[in-house]
């Protein structure tokens, strides 16, 4: 067992789940909590999971990063609508060798964080999981749960591999993948399903059950794959879109994170999920017309919803 100290920023459906799995496996984990700080301090963290429920009656929970110890690994599960908060949340948790893993949606998040902290070791965490946090201190894990890690700027290969081993030891299906491929691989699912469940007020299963929307989802996936190819990611092709369609057919009816943000009148993650990848694809000479239309619809819906 490694002696790495972990910190989790954003104890929601993602950070709460992976942090809880690491803590249950005996790793030292410190959670930065916000809205449910008082609750988890008194009642702990509870995971309802398709793989088996478990509870952590006592966790290391904090209301401020200034109260937390420095960490060897910081897991960021914060929504990208709050990305600017990392400028103040991260510094108290860092020592010169800290690795920060951004388990966040979208394209370009590492580049922006690196611009704020030029010497910081960064990795992308791409979670393939259906989970939600709809009440204080309680994460509902519906299905899947694997994660891929892409090394963005970590020069300490031993540290990176130890983190992968810790995740696996905690019962998490974790693998390393090329950074750029990892980000665009996740976008193949995220860009169609997040926005479409909002625009059409539905869930994943209903989108795939109707012939017209099923075809549109597939065409949007192929736009993302085309953009990835234009940016140098050659490992993604039509077979991956087919795999994502099949995977979604087999999952439980699901409302992605953007749909939940819409339902609870929270800001939606449009910039990194749509605006940024669309712009990067255009700069590489590739246009995504279906997803550009969806982005504009989402901008309208988001402004009206708040």
**Catalytic site residue 186?**
yes
* Helices 179-199, 211-230: inter-axial angle, 10-degree rounding: 150
The total number of residues written for the chain in this structure? 306
Q: Where are the beta strands (DSSP E) in 152-272?
A: 174-176
Residue 30 DSSP SS3: strand
If residue 102 lies in a helix (H) or strand (E), which one and from where to where?
strand 99-102
DSSP 76: E
Phi and psi at residue 7, to the nearest 5°:
-125, 145
How far is the C-alpha of 149 from the C-alpha of 263, rounded, in Å?
Answer: 30
Please tell me the distance from the alpha carbon of residue 12 to that of residue 8, in angstroms, as a whole number. 10
Nearest to 273 by CA among 171, 162, 205, 196: 196
- Tokens, residue 156: 């300490």
Give the three-state DSSP class for 192: helix
Residue closest to 122 by CA, chosen among 142, 103, 102: 102
Per-residue b or e along 139-164, where b marks 16 or more CB atoms closer than 10 Å to that residue's CB: bbbbbbbebbbbbbbbeeeebbebbb
257 contacts: CB under 8 Å, gap ≥ 6: 13, 79, 105, 194, 269
The one catalytic residue in 21, 79, 133, 186 is: 186
Per-residue CA distances from 42 to 22, 37, 38, 45, 48 (Å): 20, 9, 6, 10, 19
Q: Give the active site residues.
A: 186
């Amino acid at each position: 067992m490694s002696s790495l100290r972990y910190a989790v920023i954003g104890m929601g459906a993602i950070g709460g789940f992976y942090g809880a799995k690491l803590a249950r496996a005996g790793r030292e984990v410190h959670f930065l909590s916000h809205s449910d700080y008082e609750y988890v301090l008194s009642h702990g963290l509870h995971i309802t999971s398709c793989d088996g429920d478990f509870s952590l009656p006592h966790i290391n929970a904090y209301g401020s990063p200034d109260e937390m110890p420095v960490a060897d690994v910081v897991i960021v599960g914060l929504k990208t609508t709050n990305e600017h908060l990392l400028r103040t949340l991260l510094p108290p948790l860092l020592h010169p060798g800290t690795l920060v893993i951004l388990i966040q949606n979208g394209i370009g998040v590492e580049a922006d964080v690196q611009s704020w902290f030029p010497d910081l070791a960064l990795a992308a965490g791409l979670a393939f999981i259906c989970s939600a946090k709809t009440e204080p201190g309680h994460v509902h894990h519906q299905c899947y749960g694997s994660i891929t890690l892409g090394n963005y700027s970590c020069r300490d290969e031993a540290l990176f591999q130890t983190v992968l081993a810790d995740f696996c030891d905690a019962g998490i299906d974790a693998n390393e993948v090329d950074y750029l491929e990892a980000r665009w691989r996740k976008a193949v699912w995220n860009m169609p399903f997040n926005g479409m469940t909002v625009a059409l007020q539905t869930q994943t299963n209903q989108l795939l059950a109707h012939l017209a929307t099923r075809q549109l989802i597939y065409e949007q996936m192929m736009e993302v794959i085309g953009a990835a190819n234009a940016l140098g990611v050659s490992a993604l092709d039509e077979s991956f879109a087919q795999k994502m369609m099949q995977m979604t057919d087999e999952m439980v009816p699901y409302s992605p994170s953007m749909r939940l943000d819409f339902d609870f009148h929270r800001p939606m993650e449009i910039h990194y999920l749509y605006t940024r990848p669309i712009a990067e694809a255009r700069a590489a000479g590739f246009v995504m017309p279906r997803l550009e239309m969806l982005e504009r619809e989402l901008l309208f819906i988001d402004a009206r919803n708040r």
